[in-house]
Amino acid sequence: MTDNEVLVPPPRRSYWGVVFLLVLVLLALAAAGYGGWRVWHANHETEDTVAAQEALLIRMSHQLSDAQSSIEQLRERQSDLTDALHQNTDDVAKLQSHNEDVEQTLAHLSADIKGGRTRAQLIAVEQLLLLANDRAQLAHDARGAIAALQQAEERLSALAEPRLFEVRKAVADERAALLAVPLADRGAAALNLSGLITRADALPLREHPGVAKAATALPETPRSFSPGWSGGFWASLHEVFSQIFIVHRTDKPVDRLLPPEQEALVKQLLALKLESARAALLLGDTASFRSALDSAVQWLGDYYRAEDPMVSAARAELERLRGLELDPPLPDLSRSVGLLRAYLDAMPR
């Protein structure tokens, strides 16, 4: 060693700085592990949600198939009832033709036989009363029965026979009883259902629950850190956690809803339920009509916004239609026929 060389002491290493860095590394590793676990857990929940939605889609597809089968059955029943209606129409036409023939025959007899005019008219009235009974009991045609009773009442009134007062009173009572039967306006109800079917695609479904209305990081909470290494440690730790964890807030309830790609299926099923109700309405099947309306109301409550005015109006209309009685029971119309036949039997021949 020469005189010109100067001894320099070795640099001194900071023990506390190494410890601080080591703690930061451990915390970063722990945060990374927790974040990985959260990602794995979220993926697992997503797989469960997808499986549940696929099961729901399969169940809804089965319901759609069942609804289509019901519609086909209702169409077949509608075809059978249409054929029966045509047959009944032909029978009524034959009865009317037969009634006209009877009236013509009785008119000829009344011209030849003294006193035969009154008896012939009473027999024609009897035919009208029998026709009213047939329309009420066999065809459930209240309007046709009312028309037949009105004609019978007019003919009895034209005879001006006091001894027929009880018969006329019985005819008037039966006609009043028929008029008191609440008859559903099927045409207007079918038009209302057609309007609902047209508007079904525009009814709003429930909103899908968003992950958050606003994503915000952890709020910056002012802290009073102590000076020195501990204050820097807490500041660094707060900064690390504020960058890793994000809080999502929502103030809306989370509903069990379908994904957006299945909204078309939900609307199609609602339209099918309304079509089923309209088919049952045209067939006069009150039980099937009300069952289809109940199913449509339940469907609106499950998948549509209850607070929306259009949905509320559609539900109220379905509830109103449900109260319709498509095939009400008709009163007995046999008393007037019995009284008229007793009068005819008591008449001198």
Range of lowest pLDDT (71-80, 236-245, 321-330): 236-245
pLDDT band, residue 254 (cuts 50/70/90): very low
Residue that wins the pLDDT comparison between 186 and 8: 186
State the Cα–Cα distance between residues 339 and 334, nearest whole angstrom. Answer: 9
H/E element, 228: none
As a whole number of angstroms, the longest Cα–Cα distance in the chain is: 174
Both tokens of 280, joined, read 């049952």
DSSP conformational letter for 217 = E
Residue-wise burial string across 296-325, b where 16 or more C-beta atoms lie within 10 A, e elsewhere: bbebbeebbeeeeeebeebbebbeebbebe
Q: Is 106 or 53 the better-scoring residue by pLDDT?
A: 53
CA distance 260 to 205: 10
Q: For residue 170, what are its two tokens?
A: 């019985």
Burial level of 197, CB count in 10 A (0-12/13-18/19+)?
middle
CA dist list (Å): 10 to 13, 15, 144, 222: 9, 15, 121, 42
Residue 263 burial (CB count, 10 A): 15
What pLDDT, in 10s, does the model give residues 38-52? 888 787 778 778 888
pTM above 0.75, yes or no: no
* Confidence at residue 216, expressed as pLDDT on a 0 to 100 scale: 39
Q: Tokens representing 314?
A: 């559609």
d(CA 163, CA 7): 153
CA distance 131 to 239: 95
Provide the percentage of residues in the chain whose pLDDT is more than 70: 77
- Write out the two tokens for 53: 């939605």
pLDDT of res. 300: 92
What mean pLDDT is predicted for residues 285-314? 90
pLDDT digits (tens, 9 = 90+) for 194-210: 999 999 888 999 864 44
| Least reliable range by pLDDT among 136-140, 188-192, 237-241, 294-298 | 237-241
Read off the amino acid at residue 89. T
Residue-wise pLDDT tens digits, 69-81: 888 888 888 888 8
Report the C-alpha gap between 168 and 51 in whole angstroms.
74
| 305 vs 348, more confident | 305
**Cα separations in angstroms, 203 against 12, 61, 208, 210:** 77, 21, 15, 20
Q: Considering only 90-99, 241-250, 283-292, 295-304, which range has the smallest mean pLDDT? A: 241-250
Q: By percentage, how much of the chain surpasses pLDDT 90? A: 21
Average pLDDT, rounded, for the chain: 78
* pLDDT value of position 242: 57
Question: Could you state, in order of their start, the residue ranges of all structural domains in the chain?
Answer: 15-94, 113-183+330-346, 186-205+262-322
Average pLDDT of 225-235?
A: 52
pLDDT at 348: 75
Contacts of 311 (CB under 8 A, 6+ apart): 203, 204, 300, 304, 305
**Between residues 239 and 294, the one the model is more confident about:** 294
Tokens at residue 195, please? 């309007």
Give the type of residue at 301. Answer: G
